[in-house]
Homo-oligomer: A and B are copies of this chain.
Amino acid sequence: MQSVHIASAYDEELKFLSKRIAAMGGHAERMVEQAVAALVNIDHGLAQKVIQDDLVLDEGQREIDDKAIIIIARRQPMATDLREIVGAIRISADIERVGDLGKNVAKRVASVDGRQPNSLFRGLEALANLALTQLKEVLDVYASRSVERIGFVRDRDDQIDAMYTSLFRELLTYMMEDPRNITPCTHLLFCAKNIERIGDHATNIAETIYYIVTGDQMPPDRPKGDKTDQIVLPGMVPAK
């Protein structure tokens, strides 16, 4: 019975990592949702809440790192278990970074006055919804380890990139129409970029899950994301 007891305590330790990551993931999703809501409604109180909430993820990542190292030292895991533990370290770093990106969006609420056209805010919301769906589904795959479902990741990553590119163009056009739009739209550009990056972290997480389950690197046909670095709009004369 003794060895069963030990094995089961070990399983509990591994499950602790998975559960902690699921909780961190849920927290990061909420932060991003609320950051975008704060931006769209220019809600400074909600923005402040998101900024504070980021501490929880920093703490979560530290806890997972410490726990992972204790498990490795104590259990001396082999192969699959070791990948599981190292994977947890990587995934928690990606989730922590998603939280940072949400916080960055929240911090820009102070610099946007809400006088920009509705379509821009709707565009940001749509981009955030797509990125959050990606993150949620990737975290579902992590929970179930059903790595065969992972194909959706790259298709949706393409959609996120296409939507970001179109938003980038729209923001530039709007900046050119009236110089008073330049400052707020620059902040919205960075918000859009932050949201697009959430999709990249979801892809990183998918790659780590693939590695945990198979021991292999995901084949590198990942399409190259953000194409906005090639966008050049012609110089426009302001509307008046």
**Which residues of A approach B to under 8 Å, CB–CB?**
62, 65, 68-69, 72-73, 76-79, 82-83, 86, 89-90, 93, 104, 107-108, 110-111, 172, 175-176, 178-180, 182-184, 186-187, 189-190, 193, 217, 229-233, 235-238
Query: In the complex, are the beta carbons of A230 and B82 less than 8 A apart?
Result: no
Query: In the complex, are the beta carbons of A69 and B93 less than 8 A apart?
Result: no
Query: In the complex, are the beta carbons of B82 and A73 less than 8 A apart?
Result: yes
Contact partner of A108 (CB less than 8 A), chosen from B79, B89, B178, B229, is B229
Contact partner of A172 (CB less than 8 A), chosen from B72, B182, B217, is B182
Chain B residues positioned under 8 Å from A232 (CB to CB): 111, 183-184
Query: In the complex, are the beta carbons of A72 and B69 less than 8 A apart?
Result: no
Query: In the complex, are the beta carbons of B110 and A229 less than 8 A apart?
Result: yes
Query: In the complex, are the beta carbons of B175 and A182 less than 8 A apart?
Result: yes
Taking the nearest CB of chain B, how far is it from the CB of A116, in angstroms? 13
**7 A–B pairs (Cβ distance < 8 Å), ordered by A:** A73-B77, A86-B89, A104-B229, A108-B229, A111-B230, A183-B235, A189-B189
Query: In the complex, are the beta carbons of A233 and B183 less than 8 A apart?
Result: yes
The residue in chain B whose Cβ has the minimal distance to the Cβ of A177 is B179
Query: In the complex, are the beta carbons of A107 and B175 less than 8 A apart?
Result: no
Q: Bound state CA distance, A65 and B175, in angstroms?
A: 44
Chain B residues positioned under 8 Å from A187 (CB to CB): 229
Q: Bound state CA distance, A165 and B189, in angstroms?
A: 17
Chain B residues positioned under 8 Å from A110 (CB to CB): 229-230
Chain B residues positioned under 8 Å from A175 (CB to CB): 175, 179, 182, 186
Q: Bound state CA distance, A90 and B78, in angstroms?
A: 20
Q: Bound state CA distance, A105 and B233, in angstroms?
A: 19
Contact partner of A236 (CB less than 8 A), chosen from B179, B193, B235, is B179
Q: Bound state CA distance, A184 and B230, in angstroms?
A: 10
Contact partner of A176 (CB less than 8 A), chosen from B73, B93, B182, is B182
Taking the nearest CB of chain B, how far is it from the CB of A188, in angstroms? 12
Q: Bound state CA distance, A83 and B69, in angstroms?
A: 8
Query: In the complex, are the beta carbons of A82 and B69 less than 8 A apart?
Result: yes
Chain B residues positioned under 8 Å from A65 (CB to CB): 86
Taking the nearest CB of chain B, how far is it from the CB of A97, in angstroms? 10
